[in-house]
Amino acid sequence: MRTWKAFCLSILLGGALAGAAVAQTPTPTANETQPQPQSSAPAANPATTVNEVLDRIIAREHDENAAIRRYTPIIETYIQDMKPDKDLGAVPVSDHYFLGQADLPKGVVNNSMLASKKKNRLGQFNPLAHVADLFSSSFVPEGFLQMVYLDTTGFDRGHYQFEYVGREFLGEVRCFVFDVTPLPKSGRGRFKGRIWAEDQGFTIVRFNGSYLPPTGPSGYNLHFDSWRMNLQPGLWLPAFIFSQEADLKDFYGNRVRFKSQTRLWGYDLKNAGHEAEFSDLTIESPTAIQDQAAAQQERIGLLAPAGSVDKVLETVVNNVEVTNNLDLQPEVHCRVLLTGTLESFSIGHTIVISRGLLDVLPDEASLATILTQELANIIVTRPSSDQWGFNDTTTVTAIEAMGRFSFRDNPDELQLASEKTLELLKNSPYKDKLPGAGLFLKQLDAFSKSLPALINPHLGNRVFMYSALIGSAPQLRPEKIDQISALPIGARIKLDPWTDRVDMLKAKPVPLLSAREKMPFAVTPFMPFLTRYQKPDANVTSAPVKTDVAKKEQPAQEQTPQQQ
């Protein structure tokens, strides 16, 4: 029987689930498995003039381009088309989602991981083709992926004019700041904007601006903000890109307004999921089958390694189990799906919830509702499908994953689980806070027609609409500042692009000044707190991958990310 010790951890979850108003990035923690490029330690002969600094920045950017081309990261782009709103500023009217694996050694190539692929005239996927056919084959065939590069062919004094602005801290990293302008007749696709270069290795860690458009009627000037993170000693790699247009016209004269977030991760996939052997697994138990499926998803960059966020989720599940006198064997574990769509599912006795869904949940009761739905699935439906015992289902590539994996429950299973979910919640410590969960569901339902790409799942189940909870929720009041129905995208979870580990943001909630700052389910700019790479503590070990290992009781204070 489970213990009540973990129950007290729920008191501490309020801080961890408070959320933040803007998207942020994690402090990298990774093992040293990659060949190390140029060190970012202070130079032996420090630059003493602006010209010397600029020469080192230019030379370093050439090395950076070569370093980036060694990798094949996962890339996710989410776009919201906007329209003006007199009260809220702007609201989304439609959205688009892309998930793929970049093949940077072959160029600006982005291979879609989704079932359907929209192609441009060059035959390659262009995620921006969704936005009123804004981009043609003559401009950035691979859309946002191009924005990991500042300039691949002519970043030098012969093509650009540089103006020193000053020094500025981005997080803990002190940077030299320059404004960059292409010289006349320097060619197409040159960058115009501002760059930030860290002051030890002179790597450009941020560039904000646009590429000058090609000549002719198909030219567009897209603005973006591209960030790199220090993921290994001396190695800065692209991690986040934000783009926004408020007054852009397409080829037909239609006004285009949109915001987008692009995330990259999975830089070190060759070492992911190494805790378990899964390609030649001998099936001995249902839990071994579950481990095999989970390890495969981790290996291809879809599932985060086991960590501290899982413990927070398992505490919520434990609270529901204890108050309902449940003793499930094997123990129920939780994992985080790295994608931004709002979905959850279960693999045997392992509950999986997406990063995107964790990002936008406003409170612990809403989180408990999602987790209890999957707990109910475990109780009333199937244990584990034996399809994962076959080798061909566990050796797929990232490109094949979405077409091969499916953890979706059928309608009959969902109906049975929904009835059990309400029963479990009524006996849970969250029973008095369920109107807040209903408010989240009501807000999600209000966006169901405008944000289908965010709401529709690719691997698991979409958020179930409980009419009983929605009926108990207060009326939606978008103009009311203190009514938080959902958080912006990227408000809660930070992701390490090298290790794929996730953690909860520790930022305190920022008091809102107007209803426009609430932004439920909204795309927001990235504001990373940059730090330099630090070797992880050798004494810190990850949680076990195996789901048939019983959970060990730990003091609540040691398991809460907020307390670390």
In this predicted model, what pLDDT tens digit does every residue of 342-372 receive, in sequence order? 999 998 899 999 999 999 999 999 999 999 9
Domain ranges of the chain: 50-266, 272-496
Q: What is the pLDDT of residues 420-454, one digit of tens each?
A: 999 999 999 999 999 999 999 999 999 999 999 99
Q: Quick one: average pLDDT of 518-532?
A: 94
Query: Which neighbouring-strand residues pair with 125?
Result: 119
Q: CB within 8 A of 134, min separation 6: which ones? A: 128, 220, 248, 250, 256
Confidence of residue 5 (pLDDT cuts 50, 70, 90): very low
Of the chain, the percentage scoring pLDDT greater than 70 comes to 73
Structure tokens at 217: 């009627």
- The CA-based dihedral angle spanning residues 395, 309, 343, 408, taken in that order and rounded to the nearest 10 degrees: 50
DSSP for 300-350? TTSBPPS-HHHHHHHHHHHHHHHHTT---SSPPEEEEE-SSS--EEEETTE
d(CA 272, CA 142): 27
In this prediction, residue 252 has a pLDDT band, given cuts at 50, 70 and 90, of low
Question: CB under 8 Å to 529, separation ≥6 — which residues?
Answer: 24, 25, 27, 170, 171, 172
Distance CA 496, CA 519 (A): 25
pLDDT grade, residue 391 (50/70/90)? Answer: low
Instruction: Determine the number of helices (DSSP H) and then strands (DSSP E) in the chain.
Output: 12, 15
Q: What distance in Å separates the CA atoms of residue 505 and residue 83, rounded to the nearest whole number?
A: 30
- Integer Cα distance of 390 and 394 in angstroms: 7
Residue 286: which of 241, 231, 329, 224 has the closest Cα?
A: 329
Query: CA 404, CA 459: separation in Å to the nearest integer?
Result: 9
* CA distances to 21, 92, 271, 444, 489 from 522, in Å: 10, 8, 34, 12, 6
Helix %, strand %, coil % of the chain (to 5)? 30, 25, 50
Q: Which residue has the higher pLDDT, 100 or 139?
A: 100
Whether omega before 330 lies within 30 degrees of 0, making that bond cis, reads: yes
Q: How far apart are CA 402 and CA 395, in angstroms?
A: 13
